Amino acid sequence: MKQSGSCSNCERGIKVNVNRDILCKIHGIVSRDFRCAKYIRKVEKWSAPENRSKCIECEFFIAAGCEPGENQDEAFHDPSVGHCQLFTVRQFNGRQKNACSKFCQKSERNIS
């Protein structure tokens, strides 16, 4: 009987970016087709639509600030409006747009 699953979709396997091999937490580097007795199917972690990350939470989101001399009215300046450092120069609302595949969580910055 043929076994279904392999190290490429095992919970203990991590994809190696250099080649198509898998880094197993138990056996080390193995091929994608290898399967040992300790195979555990990887559970896909799908996020619910309400739990998806937004662009404003990304490290690459740059809030559009007011230029010196511009109207500093709070209604005009919205901190959630900005652009993505990687992809676009067009401004958008970061609270409404879902994050892309290049999402990187903003690090906490403590300024004292």
pLDDT tens, N- to C-terminus, the chain (112 residues): 455 677 778 888 888 877 888 888 888 888 888 888 888 887 765 555 566 788 888 888 888 865 545 555 544 567 889 989 888 788 889 889 888 888 888 876 655 5
Domain residue spans in the chain?
1-44, 46-106
CA distances from 27 to 22, 24, 31, 76 (A): 10, 5, 11, 58
Count of Cβ atoms closer than 10 Å to residue 53 Cβ: 14
Task: Please give the pLDDT value at position 5.
Answer: 74
Torsion of the alpha carbons at 89, 95, 96 and 100, rounded to the nearest 10:
60
Could you tell me the pTM of the whole model? 0.45
Length of the chain: 112
CA–CA distance, 34 with 7 (Å, rounded to integer) = 6
